[in-house]
Amino acid sequence: MPLLRRVVNLFSRSRVDRAIAAEIQSHIELRIEDNLAAGMPPAEARRDSLLRFGNPTVTRERVASADLALSLESAWSDVRFAIRQLRRSPGFTFAAIATLALAIGANAVVFSVMNAFILQPLNVPQAQSLYALQHGDEASGAESYPNYLDLRDRNRSFDGLVAYNICGVGLDTGGNPSSAWIEEASGNYFDALGLQPYLGHFFHAADEHGVNSAPYIVLSYAYWHSRFQDDRSVVDRVVRVDGHPFTILGVAPPDFRGTLLFFNPDFFVPLVEDQLLAGDDLNARGSQFVFETMGHLKPGVTPEQAAADLSAIGADLQKTYPKDVGKMTFVLKRPSLYGDFLGRPVRAFMAGLMLLTGLILLAACANLGSLFAARAADRSREVALRLALGSSRKRILRGLFTEAIMISLAGGALGLLGSVALLRALSAWNPFPGFPIHLAVNPDAEVYVVAVLLALASGLLFGAVPVRQVLQTNPYEVIKAGFASRAGKRVSARDLLLMVEIAICAVLVTSSLVAVRGLTRSLHAHFGFNVENTMVASTDLSMSGYSSDRVPAMQKRMIEALEDLPGVESVGLIDTLPLSTGGGGSIVFTDNTPDLRPTNAAANATFFDVSPEYFHAAGTALLSGRAFTWHDDKNSPRIAVVNREFARKLFGSAADPIGRLFRLRDGTRTQVVGIAEDGKYNSLTEYPVPVMFLPILQSPSTSTVLVVRSLPNRNQAPQLLGAAMRSALRRLDPGIPLDIVTRDKPMDVLLFGPRMATVSLGVLGAMGVILSLTGIFGMATNSVSKRLKELGIRVALGAKQREVLQAALSRAFKLLAIGSAAGLLLGILAARVLAFIVYQATPRDPLVLAGVVLAMLLLGLVATWIPAQRALSVDPGRLLREE
Amino acid sequence: MARNDFQGSLDLLVLKTLAQRGKLHGYGIVLHIQRASDELLHVEEGSLYPALHRMEQSKWISSEWALTDTNRKAKYYKLTAEGRRQLQEAEESFDQLVKGVRAMLEYA
């Protein structure tokens, strides 16, 4: 077993080493014997033998390197040597490891996130062939139930097309009502996705027999764990969902968290129960409530063929049902991010992030390269000495590379540890309380491998920087001439790298400042309502068993109960909050449209159902006309308050829209009684949207959001009012699940994207600053220590402080200026992209420009402070004496 | 003179020496090559010992410590079966080389 022997040899280096030494010794003594026998005097005999043998140490090294075991051993001694060397210069070691840890950590985090969000499809078998349907003309996959059935049964491309909808419900397992988020799934859902239950069984297509025929529940593993404490006896238990009995069938597998990334439903019920739980009409072809459909492609069918197949069915449906079905074409998208709707921004954001972190890594490598090169230059004397003493260049290079690899492994490990901690926190984080949104990112082996490879690759990359320097070292020259202070080339590769690094840093600083400014501005923008002194209480009355006529009566009692609270100015009611979950969309027609088919629609309006007092309570200004009254009920003519954009779209801007008529989707003639100011409704970055407000009594909704405006200047904490609101509403009905927060809280959902962008840019910007700082610092230090002698002579000849500084640091500042200017320019260009994510992000902002210039200037000052001190404190006398 | 760069011929010389003399230590190999080549070839110790260890790692030769005629401890090397095969191959390729070089030199 040669391998075994070698490994054994590894632990007995001294024994093997002694054997080689003994052999060489015996060789020398045999020759001495022969020399003596030939008649030489003893001293002469010994001298001749040693001379002839040459350097025994070098021979011993070479013999040892012939032995594989010993070369392994010498690798270990290289490592020990490298550690000793690194310990001797802790500043360099710390800077190098920290720089690399930052870069590797950032890349590991971003790669993990990308891996989880984009590269890895849903957790189902054969995810590669799973595609979601998206409409050809908009980034949405919403479908009506009858259309879904037709698509499912008539297509020839899919192995089963599944559909699901998202819904909030109240769950009561016996005296403890709580709200839950569920996926309503088609009967074939689990079978077509190829899933096996963890416990019990799933529901199947055969269980459905029309509307509300399958009251079954499949729990998600996480919910089973948190709500039912892993109780295996839950199977066949009957619980109440929105007051209706449902039977628990089983538990889904642990790694299946629904078919929409980020959204982890608590349990699954059949889609045919939607009418009961969400109130949608399963038979209405025009009601597009099904959230998304998806399926596995049959073997050999391409996504394009399948899309053409579906579009053909769509065209046929449009011809058959012109009243309900608009243009219906399809494209296939990867599921999990709701096609392009979430997919495009998330992918764009991640690509941008990946690019930036890649740049950070590059900058870190450039930094390390210059750190190592500077170190090699500082050690050129040591290298020359070792070369002169007979060390091979190979051995010295090996030492350098060992150091580089040690640093990259240490930095990589540190960065990876940090990123794992960060990702753990990210996975556990629930950004929107009340929604089952989780960013499940678990770094897996792939990420570790990539990070280690990245670390090693960068290690070898920057380790290679000083190679040429070592190879070109002429020991004789270096030792003779002392510090070879070659006048550098005009622009070296290292200078260029540093400049690029500074530019990257400036880009990041610019973008993060732009993002921060945009974010602050968007927090103080006017949204068409007033967030101050306002609390909101939300619930869905269907969760606590209210239906039809009991709903408006209860809503009115709730409003009155809150109005009686002290300090409350007014109370309004709306079905869904603007700039939170947003309003529903519905097409509208001008009054004289003869044929009410979707293609003839005048606009797609967002609508809200509101109570009379809503406009006052929300702080939405009415520009003309009147608000609603409690007499605008089902028996009176249908009316609406519309915003200016709606009026522009339907009636043109010239005429006074008050009193004009338009038609709702179902043809109802509706009269405009008031004009409200334009606002933001679905997102902060949206263009003006046509919006109509309908009286809650004419357009009832169980979804209830009470907007409570309290009197200003009454130093009442929102929490106190919140508690008072809760107890007032509880007195009416203790069984209503309530969510009471300040008005700006629900907007967190919308600000999530901008905030994430700002935070990531800020973190990356900080990294860029740190890297530039160390980069400039390294360069300035290097240039000062190289020219110390020259500076000394200048001082001796009477140079002023300013001149000394100019000589020592002008190059660093030139690089800083050029890099910053380039970075600022690029940053301004990049900010245009940012404007898509962050509301009102504009680089044409004197504050941003001034901020960037100031930041870069500060950075330059901090980075060159120490080298500048050193240059100024040059003592020519001492310096000339030493050299 | 055989140097490390000319490793093939150094291996051949060492293997041939061991084939002719049986067991021999490093110093003996140096002397034998010198004598047998009529003082034309000098083997450098700095190349010989790494070569010996390499050949031992490749199992062409084996070694043992023994006493010399003058009662001194020395490491003796001898050919293995694998080494004998290697020698034959090396001799053949060397013959080829010599033939080739000669033909080249005599080319008119």
**pLDDT above 80 (res A377):** no
DSSP A103-141: HHHHHHHHHHHHIIIIIS--SSTTGGGEEEEEESSSS--
The pLDDT assigned to A485 comes to: 47
**Is the pLDDT score of A360 beyond 70?**
yes
A562 with A668, same domain: the answer is: yes
- Tell me, yes or no, whether A646 and A696 share the same domain: yes
A138 and A271 in a single domain? The answer is: yes
Tell if the CB–CB gap between A26 and B54 is shorter than 8 Å: no
pLDDT at A7 over 70: no
Residue A472, burial from CB neighbour count under 10 angstroms (0-12, 13-18, 19+): exposed
Q: Distance between CA atoms of A296 and A162, rounded to whole angstroms?
A: 9
User: Do residue A754 and residue A795 come from a single domain?
Assistant: yes
- What region, left, alpha or beta, does residue A319 occupy, with left being phi > 0 and alpha being psi -120 to 50 degrees? alpha
Of A433-447, A508-522, B33-47, least confident by mean pLDDT is A433-447
* Span of A7-16, A467-476, A684-693, A835-844 with lowest mean pLDDT: A7-16
pLDDT band, very low/low/confident/very high, at A8 (cuts 50, 70, 90)? low
How far apart are the C-alpha atoms of B87 and B82, rounded to whole Å?
A: 9
By C-alpha distance, the chain A residue nearest B69 is: A30
Averaged pLDDT, A397-409: 84
pLDDT score, position A711: 83
Q: Is B49 on the interface with A (CB under 8 A)?
A: yes
- Would you place residue A224 in the very low, low, confident or very high pLDDT band (cuts 50, 70, 90)? very high
Q: Model confidence over A605-615: pLDDT tens digits?
A: 889 999 999 99
**pLDDT top residue among A751 and A232:** A232
Pair A332, A311: CB distance under 8 Å: no
What is the average pLDDT across A635-649? Answer: 91
Distance between A67 CA and the closest CA of chain B, angstroms: 7
**CB-based contact (8 Å) between B26 and chain A?**
yes
Radius of gyration of chain A (CA): 37
Q: Which residue has the tokens 């990531």?
A: A760
The domain tally of chain B equals 1
Q: Is residue A82 included in any domain, yes or no?
A: no
Report how many Cβ contacts below 8 Å link chain A to chain B: 61
Is A757 in the same domain as A860? yes
Summarize the confidence of residues A380-405 as an average pLDDT: 78
pLDDT tops 60 at residue A572: yes
The residue with greater pLDDT, A519 or A234, is: A234
Give me the domain span that covers residue B63: 4-106
Residue A508 confidence (pLDDT):
81
Q: Are residues A290 and A351 in the same domain?
A: no
Q: Are A390 and A487 in contact (CB under 8 A)?
A: no
Q: Do B74 and A33 touch (CB under 8 A)?
A: no
Q: What is the pLDDT of residue A484?
A: 46
Q: Encoding tokens for residue B81?
A: 């079966």
Q: Is residue A75 part of a domain?
A: no
Q: What is the mean pLDDT of chain A?
A: 82
Confirm whether A489 is domain-assigned.
no
Q: Which residue has the tokens 């990334």?
A: A261
Residue B79's DSSP bridge partners are B61
Number of structural domains found in chain A: 5
Nearest to A156 by CA among A375, A354, A373, A313: A313
Nearest-angstrom CA–CA distance, A289 and B96:
87
Do residue A55 and residue A98 come from a single domain?
no
Give contacts of A 835-854 with B, CB under 8 A: none
- Domain shared by A439 and A365, yes or no: yes
The highest-confidence range among A82-86, A152-156, A164-168, A342-346, by mean pLDDT, is A152-156
Q: Is A55 on the interface with B (CB under 8 A)?
A: yes
Question: Which residue reads 């259309």 in tokens?
Answer: A147
Q: Identify the residue whose tokens are 């004419």.
A: A698
User: Amino acid letter at A351?
Assistant: A
More confident residue, A616 or A873: A616
Burial of A24 (0-12, 13-18, 19+ CB in 10 A): buried
Check residue A708 and report its DSSP letter. Answer: E
A471 or A207, higher pLDDT: A207
The pLDDT, as a whole number, for residue A143 is: 86
CB contacts, 8 Å: A33 with chain B: 70, 72
| pLDDT value of position A250 | 93
Note whether A167 and A261 are same-domain residues. Answer: yes
Q: Are residues A834 and A873 in the same domain?
A: yes
- Interface contact B72, partner A, CB < 8 A: yes
List the CATH number of the domain containing B29.
1.10.10.10
pLDDT tens digits along A307-324? 999 999 999 998 888 877
**Which tokens is A849 given?**
């420009």
Mean pLDDT comparison of A486-495, A684-693, B15-24, highest-scoring range: B15-24
Chain A hits for B75, Cβ within 8 Å: 19, 22-23, 26
| ipTM (interface predicted TM) | 0.84
pLDDT category at A670 given cuts 50, 70, 90 is: very high
In chain B, what's the furthest Cα-to-Cα distance?
58
pLDDT band at A190; cut points 50, 70, 90: very high
Residues A753 and A867 in one domain: yes
Residues A789 and A859 reside in one and the same domain? yes
**What domain range includes position A622?**
534-745
Say yes or no: A26 contacts chain B, CB-CB below 8 A. yes
User: Which of A30-34, A380-384, A473-477, A479-483 has the highest average model confidence (pLDDT)?
Assistant: A30-34
The whole-model pTM stands at: 0.62
Q: Does A9 touch chain B (CB under 8 A)?
A: no
**Cβ–Cβ < 8 Å for A291, A166:** yes
Q: Which residues of B touch A69 (CB under 8 A)?
A: none
Q: Which residue of A has its CA nearest to B52?
A: A63
Residues A60-64, mean pLDDT to the nearest whole number: 76
When scoring B24, B43, B45, B82 by the number of chain A Cβ atoms within 10 A, the one with the most, hence best to mutate, is B45
How many angstroms separate the CA atoms of A50 and A35, rounded?
12
CA A522-A524-A528 angle, to 5 degrees, is 90
Per-residue model confidence (pLDDT) at position A181: 87
pLDDT of residue A178: 76
Is A674 or A509 the better-scoring residue by pLDDT? A674
Q: Please check the confidence at residue B34 and state whether its pLDDT lies above 80.
A: yes
